[in-house]
Structure 1
Amino acid sequence: MSEETVRSAKGRMGSFSFEGESAEGLLRIGEVTKSTGLTARTLRYWEEIGLISPIDHIENRERRYSGKVLERIDVIRRLQEVLGLSLAEVKAVLEQEDRLLEVVSRYRKDLDSGTRLVMLTEAKRANDEIVKRLDDRLSEIGRFRMERVERGQRIDSAIEQILREAND
């Protein structure tokens, strides 16, 4: 998020706040689209399927997003573009990540070592699930890559065969 976007957002939002967050840093949907390059329709769809959430959205009022949504959008795009995950797969990864963050938040508040152990075990399980999903995807990518390499080798062999026959 550029400093100009934040300054612009701060200047237009006044001093009201939503759900415990200060209005400073809250972005209108147009500012999020400008900052991310996504369309408002994409943001609304991602909201509809549970990938992102506005801080505030009252009927007939514009959605307001915290700056954290920009980080989440970056993660969504990386999961899609780098790993080729579908939106359903992205959602599953994000749900595990949200669960992990929730456990970390609760962990910091609870001083009882027994409770902390349970929380850490839950956090480890959530993290392991994310790693497993990533490993599964990387394995699929590896298999697909090998198929392409083998196909390329067969094509190279066919080219060599034709060239040998042409030289004979």
Structure 2
Amino acid sequence: SLSLSLSLYSSTPTYIAMLSLTSLQPSTTFCSSLPSSHIHRTPQYRLSVSPPSPPRLLLTPSIPPRYRRLRIRSLDAAQPFDYESQISERFAKSTKLKIAIIGFGNFGQFLAKTLVRQGHTVLAHSRSNHTDIASKMGVSFFADADDLCEEHPEVM
């Protein structure tokens, strides 16, 4: 049996292909209708090829398998185009309201603080200027009621 081994090397992975051939073997054929004195042997050759073994991928041929380190090639991280993150973001937005508070005195500030803590968007308007207090609380303050209405709050 003749065996041929072919190795193709590239920069990183190594591919090994094996091809195995059996040698050509003569066989004899007898003609039974002829007398034994006229028997002649006709050589016939058979070529048999065994199927090649599947190519193997060796990641690092110089390092034995027991000393190879595990390398992380990808991570499953939430991406902005990820469907699951889009759905959860939509759900979070659908449960939060844009609420306008008219009158930003003591009670208006109390309401705003509570609503901001729950995650709602709060818009405020008052005749007096409470811009500094509103910005510290995370509330958008509008001195003009028309500007507040242009924000299209869901609750006033």
Q: Which has the higher contact order (CA 8 A, sep 6+)?
A: 2
Higher strand fraction (1 or 2) = 2
Q: TM over 0.5, yes or no?
A: no
Which structure's residues are more often helix, by fraction?
1
- Say which one has the larger Rg: 2
Q: TM range, normalised to the smaller chain? A: under 0.3
Q: Structure 1-normalised TM-score? A: 0.25
